[in-house]
Amino acid sequence: MSTAELDGKTAVVTGAGGQIGGGIARELAKAGCDVVLADVDVLDTAYNQQGSEEVHGAETAHKLADDIESMGRRAIVVECDVTKAAQVEAMIDATVEEFGGLDVMCNNAGIITLSTVEELAEAEWDSVMDVNAKGVFLCAKAAIPELKRSKGTIINTASIAGEIGAAGLGHYVASKHAVMGLTKCLALELAPDDVTVNAICPGIVNTPMWSKVLTPAMGGDYGDIIEDVMPLGRDQTPEDMGRLAVFFATNRNVTGEAVKVDGGITQNVI
């Protein structure tokens, strides 16, 4: 259902070919946004949850664009590596050229690998930090001039890992702590321009991050893990993250916040 606040607005979603990115894009489209879907088919590194340089993100985003257009909204796909400033700037330029401006910037692209700090390769650290932290910085920086004009919003995908520690995930946890800190700083810097900045902190969503990396490492079945650790007894969905994105995009007095959508798992300390 479209909302008056977002009807006809323009949103950019990075990592749109992933499940969480797709959920965010769909919910924003349902709320009335036209959407720019940004992703890549090939990364410079195999250090990611797919374990391959070929990730097919843009290919998936094209299918998502068809779905969004079937809702009566407009959608375009832009191939963009968020670690490359020139590509990020071109993404914003393409958005403005196609839609006339930018209202909602969703920095969602992210990768994960599993390694102890002792065994972590420098290149692996760099890859995760580049996508997860530098990518948010570059996309926010490029979007700010347009968002100041529209009095828009930045929505960063962080993680519950941005509030805790986790053995074997030092590089990923550090990257998400960086996103949380940058979110708060951006909120203060952009408040005088009436631009809001917030973060979504997903809990456990059945994405390749879990199916290909974390679940095998935990040596269990995904359903059993959810039953064991999740107070609500169920995992979270991409649509959950999308609905929070819509909330952030339509609530003008919420800024500098990081909201967990985690089924209570971070409260489950006993």
Told to judge if 172 belongs to the known catalytic residues of this protein, a careful annotator would answer: yes
Sequence-ordered list of residues with C-beta below 8 angstroms from that of 72, at least 6 positions apart, any chain? none
Residue-wise over 196-232: b if at least 16 C-beta within 10 A, else e? bbbbbbbbbbbbbbbebbbbeeeeeebeebbeeebee
Quick check: 82 and 131 in contact, CB under 8 A?
yes
Cβ-contact 24, 245 below 8 angstroms: yes
Q: For residue 27, give both structure tokens.
A: 């919910």
Work out the number of other CB atoms within 10 angstroms of the CB of residue 239.
17
Say which of 47, 99, 125, 172 is annotated catalytic: 172
How many Å apart are CA 166 and CA 116, to the nearest integer?
10
Q: How far is CA 189 from CA 144, 252, 260, in A?
A: 11, 16, 23
What region does 72 belong to: left with phi over 0, alpha with psi -120 to 50, or beta? Answer: left
Catalytic center residues: 172
